[in-house]
Chain A
Amino acid sequence: MPSAFVFDRPLKGPATHAVIIGIGSYPHLPGGSSRAKTAHHEGMGQLTSPPQSARHLARWLIDQFDSPARPLGSVQLLISEKKPRPFPLRGAVGERTSVTVPRATKAEIERALADWRSKGDSHSDNLMLLFFCGHGAGSGLTLSLLLEDFGDRPNAPLKNCIDLRRFHSAMDECAARDQCYFIDACRTESRLLTANAGFAGDPIFQSTGIFQHRDRRARAGPMFFSTVADAAAYSRPGKPSIFTDAVIAALSGAGSGDSNGPWEVTATRLQTALDAIMREESQALGLERSQTPSADAVVELTLNTVAAPQVPIFVRVEPAAAHAIAKLRCEGPECHRRLKPSAEPWRFQARTGVYDFVAEFKTGCYKHTALRKEPVRPPFWRKPILVGP
């Protein structure tokens, strides 16, 4: 059986440990590989984005996460997709290799979470990250995360689900006092949850009544959701979801601040960055309503330290007629961009610094107009360039 660990580095001091779950293939849902389909599909089917989202995030964590206070200690990856693909790795001497990652069935996830919890119990200053991308079913304060083998039992459809609320509550007994959860799933109302009056699946861990926190600190366990309750989450088919992209952008710098010296990504700033980025992405995708991320129990918690934060930049020219024909030139620290005319606002990332943004026109309809010496800092830079005839 393949191991879920795609990265595992023993460290003496505090470390960051992550579990990443991406479920696109649900055999017992319509379109799935099993002949036995569940009657309780509630309109759900197969997904293509979650496996990409999970890979993308695992890749970013392994290659780019760099927190001196809590270096990356381990990453576990579980993916359910129609045609499993190996996950590329670099070996001990830099050689290219790849591993097969386990499917996100209940049994495999239980194993991975037990290992993850064990890592968390090794040091109270560890940072625990959980990322889930797949189907979700919600009702009120309850959210159930559907695992690959959801629906394999006709009379017990919720058997292979995780009761997120109880899981999160039980994780309060983990020694690691800093935990962060990212849930990328629809939270649309489920009749199944309502009918089962409080049963939302397996909490994986159970509360034992042990409250003695070894270092007397209450747990910080913010949860970030890709959408508000009873709402849908969106993605481009076969690509990482907009929430995944926003999380990575936030962890890469959009969610950082330097009020304490070095650039640190904190939970509060990450929340602000997620909201801003997803508003922009929703507009770019032409969604009828902005996909609004939501959060629960956000307290101050440092997630990452970045040396050179990447800042999302959104530029448009006003009036709209001018934007349609304008070219953009962006000049700054190690950044010389020339962007062609676009129907949409220009969107890209750049390092923190001071930049010039110049709207240029081939024809003489509008004057070249510049915003010069603009400080570009997290969470984003967004301004219109106002041009005149």
Chain B
Amino acid sequence: MKNVRLRIEKSLEGGPRVSSSAPAVFGTLYAIDPLTGGRVQGTPARRPLIPISSDPATVCSLEIPPGQYVVEVSLPSGECLSAVIEAQRDKACDVVLQGEASPREWLAWHHLIGNVVAPQQPSLEHALNAPVRHMGRPKPAGPGRHGRFKPRVYQRWWAQLEAGTAWALLAHPKFDKRLGIKLDHEVPCAQADAEHAVYEFTGSIKSGRHRMFAIVELADTLELVTLPLPWLHHGSRAKHVIELALQRPSSGRPFASAIAVRDPNLSMLLGFLASGALPAARELATKSEERLDQDITNPLGAAAGAYAFVANTRGATQRPWRRWILNLNRQFAWLPDAAILVAALELRNEPSETNLASVRDVSLEAYSRGLPYFTLGLRWLLDIFDKLVPVFPELAQQQQTVERVALRCHPSSAFTILRLPSAGA
């Protein structure tokens, strides 16, 4: 009899979705000695995949021997949940891990993956008399708490630009003037309060020929937000909803934008990629490995999984996912991240003189495909050029251009978001 039922309580049911399945993360379950609290040695820890849902019927069911156990889960937001379980032989036990409440129900996906933080719980009283100081600059004067936060969001797509033009324009100080951005095609807001706003995109765009971006107009900046469209559901090929969440910029947080994909299979993986928790991302990618090997329905999702695999590779590898990364690059010749992944993989496999030249070639191919969809791609492209330029000095110009663009990049976002001077700046 399965005597333990695990679930993480969080309501994610609001808003349009193409899949009714719940997102999930791996937890750690292990037996402990009730007298010492230490792990019972010799009993392996289990890694259950625990669903995140407010539905009591959506659980991970396990059969475990009677005893005391601890279950721990880390969410992409950084929140750590745990519970002690008293498992009995013939009696089922429901274990519900309660996470932090999100500021609004319609921000739940963003809160879950760390895009949005709940307001600080009011402190009972400050016990410390000593003042708290910034280690550095004084708080910059920003919009007051009660000032107007009325962003405007536009969608824009461009045909794939010739590489040099695209990068040069992105790196140019007066980006929007050069490219002639017209702020038309305004996107209606789906939900908003005084501090947040959410916009939804599904996008009927033929990937490969066009890239779609959201342009967020704030007080004195623009944010160019990569929209990973279309994000297709494996099998049905239905389009998942992409959500853009905006938060009021505050002191120390000039970036307003964040992206969440309402894909229960990959949203958590994307959150872990953004937070830098790469082993957790890889573990989730492993769940999708076989499927990705068979049919790459969603090349962007496949690229996300590939980042997780490659980032955790520490030596030469002949794992199956290596093959489908090469396939990804061949089949989707418009995807910059696919070429970046191939280059990064080759560098980790101890490159020789022979394949350094091919790493150079595939890096240039990546550059020619334009701005990476993923921030990790931009970061890795920089690292790859750092390593190649001493051997191939002719790559210095590309390196410098990518560097300029990287200065504008949101470093904690899964998808590439650039902050640009506005037309009036």
Contact = CB atoms under 8 A, between A and B. Distances in A.
A388 interface: no
Contacts of B379: 141
A320 interface: yes
B239 to A, nearest CB: 30
A44 B134 CA distance: 10
Nearest to A290: B120
Given A236-B128, A297-B311, A268 B137 contact: no
Contact of B348 (A135, A218, A230, A380): A218
Interface string B336-352: 00000000000110110
B139 A232 contact: yes
Contacts of B28: 257, 259
B78 interface: yes
Nearest to A278: B78
Say what secondary structure dominates the interface of chain A.
Answer: loop
Nearest to B280: A268
A225 to B, nearest CB: 9
A197 B251 CA distance: 23
Contacts of B403: 142, 197-198
A375 B411 contact: no
A283 B388 CA distance: 46
A212 B30 contact: no
Interface in A267-308: 268, 271-272, 275-276, 279, 282-290, 292, 294-300
B315 interface: yes
A212 B117 CA distance: 43
B409 interface: yes
A324 interface: yes
A188 B315 contact: no
A228 B411 CA distance: 9
Contacts of B117: 289-290, 292
Interface in B368-425: 375, 378-379, 382-383, 386-391, 400, 403-404, 406-412, 419
A140 B411 CA distance: 6
Interface in A34-53: 42-44, 47, 49-50
A211 B137 contact: no
Contacts of B74: 272
Interface string A346-389: 00000011100000000000000000011111011000000000
Contacts of B386: 166, 169-170, 207
B385 to A, nearest CB: 10
Contact of A343 (B124, B131, B253, B316): B124
Interface stretch (B37-45, B160-168, B259-267): B37-45
B314 A218 contact: yes
B114 to A, nearest CB: 9
A135 B136 contact: yes
Interface stretch (B52-60, B227-235, B271-279, B293-301): B271-279
A157 to B, nearest CB: 15
Given A140-B407, A324-B124, A299 B78 contact: no
B279 A298 contact: yes
A279 B123 CA distance: 12
Interface string A131-164: 0000110011110000000000000000000000
B120 A282 contact: yes
B1 interface: no
Contacts of B348: 218
A119 interface: no
Contact of A354 (B36, B78, B312): B36
A232 B36 contact: no
A279 B37 CA distance: 25
A289 B250 contact: yes
Contact of A300 (B79, B279, B316): B279
A258 B38 contact: yes
B76 to A, nearest CB: 11
Of B45, B74, B132, B313, most A-chain CB atoms within 10 Å: B132
Contacts of B252: 188, 227, 230-232, 289
A88 interface: no
B142 to A, nearest CB: 11
B41 A352 contact: no
A284 B135 CA distance: 17
B29 to A, nearest CB: 11
Interface in B93-138: 117, 120-121, 123-128, 130-138
A354 B34 contact: yes
Contacts of A343: 124-127
Contacts of B192: none
Given A211-B387, A275-B78, A300-B279, A232 B135 contact: yes
B250 to A, nearest CB: 7
Given A229-B411, A230-B253, A259-B45, A295 B406 contact: no
Given A272-B78, A284-B128, A198 B121 contact: no
B180 interface: no
A241 B390 CA distance: 39
Interface string A199-243: 000000011110111001110101000011111111111010100
A77 B253 CA distance: 32
Contacts of A169: 383, 386-387
A135 B139 CA distance: 14
B137 A44 contact: yes
B37 A353 contact: yes
A379 B80 CA distance: 8
Contact of B407 (A198, A222, A236): A198
Contacts of B68: 375
B410 A229 contact: yes
B347 A299 contact: no
B271 to A, nearest CB: 13
Contacts of B407: 139-142, 193-194, 197-198
B15 interface: no
B159 interface: no
A110 interface: no
Given A218-B313, A323-B124, A47 B253 contact: no
A9 interface: no
B35 A377 contact: no
B126 A286 contact: yes
Contacts of B412: 228-229, 294
Of A184, A218, A343, A354, chain B has the most CB atoms within 10 Å of the CB of A218
Contacts of B378: 141
B383 A232 contact: no
3 nearest A-B residue pairs (beta carbon)? A186-B136, A343-B125, A275-B78
11 contacts: A141-B378, A142-B403, A170-B386, A185-B136, A234-B133, A237-B131, A285-B126, A294-B275, A294-B276, A295-B275, A344-B124
